[in-house]
Amino acid sequence: EYTSSKITIKVVDAVFEKIVINSPYTTIPVGQTMRLTATGFFYEGDVLKTIDITNDVDWNSANSEVLMATNIKGAYKANVAGSSAISISWKNLTDKLDFNITNDSISSLVLVASRGSMVLGSEQRINALAYYANGAAYDMSGQVSYNIMPASAASIRVDAKDSNIVWLTAKE
């Protein structure tokens, strides 16, 4: 003999407290493309939780001549020196972040890998870091060209979800 019970669960929309633009930089050089993200903050009971809302918010550049939106939500290219704010809005909430675009030049470009050797068929993430004359460093992994010598030794793959993540796969 089995006894069962019935429970009713009411599903409601989360009530968001605030939304925030996330950026590793607020000063960037002309020519750099930056990928911003947006985070929503809400309470589940007494616990503050977060969720990525990058693709849900409306993005806006105050000066699209300086910071121009790309075809990827939250991605902006620095076109000319100057300043601009990026703002987001969603569910009657807003956030804004100010950016300064400079004419700094790259003084060096460094490739970084976590391992110096790889097993056949293994994969590792690599980064191309651009160091600027002002001392700032920017990850340009998805914006540079790679030349593997010999070409049969490895392959390069750009991540399908984030164009700034690059993978190196050992082939021989």
% of the chain with per-residue pLDDT over 90: 36
Long-range contacts of 51-56 (CB under 8 A, 24+ apart): 51/14, 53/19, 53/90, 56/90
The answer on pLDDT for 89 being more than 90 is yes
Could you report the per-residue pLDDT of 24-77, keeping only the tens digit for each? 888 888 888 888 999 999 988 788 899 999 999 999 999 999 999 998 899 999
Q: What is the pLDDT of residue 82?
A: 95
| DSSP-based three-state secondary structure for 133 | coil
Q: If you average pLDDT over every residue of the chain, what do you get?
A: 87
Could you report the per-residue pLDDT of 114-135, keeping only the tens digit for each? 888 888 888 888 888 888 877 7
Report field, pTM of the whole predicted structure over 0.85: no
CB 35 within 8 A of CB 74: yes
The answer on pLDDT for 162 being more than 80 is no
**Dihedral pair phi/psi, residue 127, rounded to 5°:** -125, 140
Give the chain's length: 172
The answer on pLDDT for 85 being more than 90 is yes
Q: Which two tokens stand for residue 14?
A: 């989360």
Buried/exposed 75-93: b ≥16 CB within 10 Å, e otherwise: bbbbbeeeebebbbeeeeb
Taking CA atoms, 67 is separated from 29, 78, 130, in Å, by 11, 5, 20
How far apart are alpha carbons 120 and 60 in whole angstroms?
45
The answer on pLDDT for 1 being more than 70 is no
Identify each DSSP E strand in the chain by its residue range: 16-22, 27-29, 33-35, 37-44, 47-52, 58-61, 67-69, 75-78, 82-90, 93-102, 106-113, 123-132, 137-139, 154-158, 166-170
- Mean pLDDT to the nearest integer, 101-125: 86
